Chains A and B, each alone.
Chain A
């Protein structure tokens, strides 16, 4: 039996800035996280096979890769596509899991992981917003959201509004729903997203991206209202369940 902890690759560099807390989320849920610089990975030129034998999870954390210039996540996506050459669909078909949080999610959208008729753009109100919201899983297709109920998490973004190609909207949305891609919804709509969408997964349910930050709620004291219940100060935060789901999935697969 494999007694080693599963490894999680947490990518950093070029303006990514949530790598430490993302790694902490993986650590707390049983993984051994490795924070690696994009440029080192480019030099290494890991094939998808090598990637999947070394890492159980690849995480693209939040941040401002390339300053959000040319649109959020865009140049990071180009770098993954052209310099790393990773096909995430191949990686997950070999048993891997992928998560993109906030800027990482935006990069996954630009990579076309959730379909070529899906995009993400400026919040409807045209402003960056840091605020706590509620999200609820929709359907049970996404591995990362198995058994997860409603979560309270912070959003911190200026470009979180998920949009669909206008001329094919109904068709695209129907297909996404049928395939379980529309996996996470806001209560209310903090950014004008289509169908209140807060997160998406790919058809396999193993690549998951979301705008809210689960890694920012690993412990109860991060919640804006925690002082109402000081007794819970040491309790785990609701964001942790997402990382724990990945761990359970990895352990089950062994």
Chain B
């Protein structure tokens, strides 16, 4: 029978969902907020369960009703579960205004969108009814009651569109008050109608595409119409492939005619920028104006940036602890004799622009799968997340289809929260970067680290070996229409025609079950190779694994054997769908039974799709019928090489930061008058201020491995507890070892406006500084310290300047990594971060600033010597270590005030000096004696911001003396390279100074920690001083956070 269940919190209890809604309305539409006097949220379920009425009533009661908290409105199915009047009237009576003017918005998922709650509800019924319900259906939604005499249908529609729903995945209807009082919506026929139905009729339908009949325009049109994202050159190459006599002959023999849509789609996925990285592989002609040539040289002809910079760097460094770099889902390094660590960072920008929650959620669970699918499979041990969005106070009109940055941030935050927390993986590190240009596309970086034994069931963990005859098994979620064309879509600019099918919601619990199962199966040696089903779906995962099978590679799969969410999918959809929570494995025939049995016991589904072969072909059947047969060699190596022009016009003569006008007040020449207010202004800037609001909504301690947390907290456990930022995280992944893993990041897109070469170097240096600050080891050949690069670029194709920025960033990255002797082990690039659309009818293009995120991972040999950033004891002496490479140009201060009062200096790295500093800090550095009470790197905001951040939590004070020979502005607010503020016990001062002198590490005594709770800054040779109470530093820093 059918049932509609509405679950309402009883009025005595607060309703966080409704409160959250009102808060979002307040932020998005302050005037509308005035019109909503009261709100209440209900969960709604639509059920179709093959069970007799009495049994169902009992089951519904035990599944849905918590009598302490809730009322159930069931249209008289279970009258006792409702309130006094047996329905909505009881809620109306609880509203503060009587008689109120009530409305409701009902929200449902669009058919086919992942409905995790509905799925769990069905499982709960199976548990309670003690039988499988293959015909049963359960769908979840919600009902939002609103009260306000000034509300009307138009205003409700605005609320629904702008706050309550994402129309891409949800639908809404307005329910007037009279309807709510009636019980029509509980009628059997009505519920039947309301249950989402998915009617697709495409089973087995394959279309042939006669490419011969198409001229150039026709080829381009076909690519555009089918969202193949293939260029004319690529379309021609595909046509020419099918023209080859031997190809045509073989096709005829196997009964194939013109190219099928399945084949074209496989090409499109495999050759997409997202999968193939054509830009990074392109031949680039690079020129620069003579006057702007730097001291380093970039060749004028580059045959593939990726190979000649990133891969070459790692190859040149030849670290003995590298196990697998660049060719797996993640980079794998040796952690100790028994364990390997792997890491991957992904971007999920395009999906997050369309559906911030779903995009970020699938981003995080997607990168988790990269770890589960790297080598023989690793266990995720931490997540990282970095978001780049437009300023949250953006108040101009929004271009078509773009969301307000607040909505983006709310959604991605919640997505990573659900993705990380529900998967039991701690989110330990991240960053939040604001720039107006991220309005066009937010950048959402999700990273995961994992651990695995170096030898698993007798095989080295990094191996991926397949034998012809092994079964091709798809494991985990089912295939649906969701996520079709994700890879090709992310290879295009965001525009009005971006497809909704590219968006999906994740299901962390299906994935968690799969992850638990896979690690068990791995240790039992049940499979031979594993990879993630991500971009491109089966076409990519099977296509990639097929290369490893036997001599020539090959795979033959029957897509009609794939378990699907609903019937009717076309073969090409089955092949390219990026439906979530799926992995593809090579399972030896002899193990198949055991593998499937274990999966069943773990509630995980397996589709045995076919077998790996040695034919050199990727073959797809639907049932008996062959629908694709492609040469693996051509599929993987046939894409025509892109050619790009790059022209570097030099650094701008006047480096003006882009963005909003200077902060009020400004910075005058007089440090005495405005120095203090500048510090306070900087501390409250979104790029610098507290991220505690965000960090505390992520579980950063699950797995019990946390050593250095994202925040250092003073008076933990007490009401007056206060937190400040740490530079990086340390986790201790093995209970039986004192060794830890440090993970930190560096990102500095501001510098792209000056020179992407510096931008990249700055990101590398910052990421290394961060992990060294917390105690990572540096300098010995066996010191495991590695980098992951993530490029997010505005489309460089056809734009020589953007291409030049890319070239320069790659060389900056290379030069920094080589100089520091730190290899790159993994990475990802996203090259189409542009928006092309319109604002109020006018065409508008927004391109993100070239942005490189560097993630550093290092080994902390003994976590008992790990460090935090907070000053700890009054009387400790403060030093600036490094400090020679700091300048105001391109700093946060520069962005804030535009006109620089101090020296116009653009800092440049000095890598020889860096190596000396890092070898000291990452070497002995007095660790045994715990001489360094605190270490904090100098980044956004400069030295005084670093000092303030070290003070904020504990409520101590500090005295800082600006050296007489320094420009106070540059000394206090300059940003750059290789610099730290450290605090040292008085008793260790002479020993440390000797150490620094001997190792040629630049240092300066800059002050001391004091008991008085204030920051004193003295300058002009100590003649002048200003002072700010520590409490004020804290208030300003915390107030700058978003706290949503």
Partner-B contacts on A (CB < 8 A): 12-15, 17-18, 20-21, 24, 37, 39-40, 43, 62-64, 66-71, 74-75, 78-79, 82-83, 110, 116-119, 121-134, 152-154, 156, 163-166, 187-188, 192, 213, 215-216, 218, 221-225, 227-228, 230-231, 233-234
Contacts and interface: CB of A to CB of B under 8 A. Distances in A.
Contacts of A43: 601
B790 interface: no
B696 A230 contact: no
B700 A17 contact: no
A234 B424 contact: no
A17 B512 contact: yes
Contact of B704 (A18, A39, A122): A18
Contact of B717 (A127, A134, A216, A228): A134
Contacts of B69: 119, 121, 163
A210 to B, nearest CB: 15
A6 to B, nearest CB: 20
Given A122-B16, A187-B718, A218-B704, 18 more contacts: A13-B513, A17-B424, A18-B704, A20-B703, A37-B516, A39-B601, A64-B512, A69-B509, A70-B63, A70-B120, A117-B68, A128-B698, A128-B699, A130-B697, A163-B13, A188-B718, A216-B702, A227-B867
Interface stretch (B49-57, B121-129, B588-596, B630-638): B121-129
Contact of B424 (A64, A74, A82, A118): A64
B16 A126 contact: yes
B422 A64 contact: yes
Interface in B98-137: 116-117, 119-121, 123-124, 127-128, 130
B68 A163 contact: yes
A221 B732 contact: yes
B868 A227 contact: yes
A15 B866 contact: no
B429 to A, nearest CB: 14
A188 B124 CA distance: 36
B706 interface: yes
A67 B14 CA distance: 22
Nearest to A192: B14
Contacts of A119: 66, 68-69
A228 B717 CA distance: 15
Interface string B502-520: 0000011100110010000
A31 B721 CA distance: 35
Nearest to A228: B872
A24 B735 CA distance: 8
Interface string B693-712: 00111111111101111011
Given A74-B124, A233-B864, A187 B717 contact: yes
Interface in B852-886: 863-868, 870, 872
Interface residues of B, number: 77
A12 B417 CA distance: 21
Contacts of A125: 16
Contacts of B709: 224
Contacts of A228: 872
A126 B1043 CA distance: 12
Contacts of B868: 227
B697 A82 contact: no
A68 B601 contact: no
Contact of B702 (A17, A116, A127, A164): A17
Nearest to B119: A69
Contacts of A66: 120, 123-124, 509
Interface of B: 9-10, 12-14, 16-17, 19-20, 62-64, 66-69, 116-117, 119-121, 123-124, 127-128, 130, 417, 421-424, 507-509, 512-513, 516, 601-603, 695-704, 706-709, 711-719, 721, 723, 732, 735, 863-868, 870, 872, 930, 934
A116 to B, nearest CB: 8
Contact of B421 (A64, A70, A134): A64
A20 B717 CA distance: 24
Contacts of B865: 230
Contacts, number: 201
A127 B417 CA distance: 11
Given A64-B421, A121-B13, A156-B702, A127 B707 contact: no
A222 B706 contact: yes
**What are the 5 tightest A-B residue pairs by CB atom distance, in nearest-first order?**
A17-B424, A126-B16, A21-B704, A69-B120, A233-B864
Given A117-B68, A130-B699, A227-B868, A15 B716 contact: no
Interface centre among B66, B707, B723 (most CB of A within 10 A): B66
Given A68-B422, A78-B62, A156-B701, A225 B117 contact: no
Given A117-B68, A129-B696, A224 B716 contact: yes
B701 A154 contact: yes
Given A39-B603, A70-B63, A228-B872, A187 B719 contact: yes
Given A15-B422, A39-B602, A78 B702 contact: no
A229 to B, nearest CB: 9
A75 B696 contact: no
A125 B704 CA distance: 25
A216 B863 CA distance: 17
A228 B866 CA distance: 11
Contacts of B864: 221, 230, 233-234
A188 to B, nearest CB: 5
Contacts of B508: 15, 64, 67
A163 to B, nearest CB: 6
B423 A17 contact: yes
Contacts of B707: 221-222
Contacts of B64: 70
A74 B872 CA distance: 45
A188 B127 contact: no
B63 A78 contact: yes
Most buried by B among A163, A192, A231: A163
B602 A13 contact: yes
Nearest to A21: B704
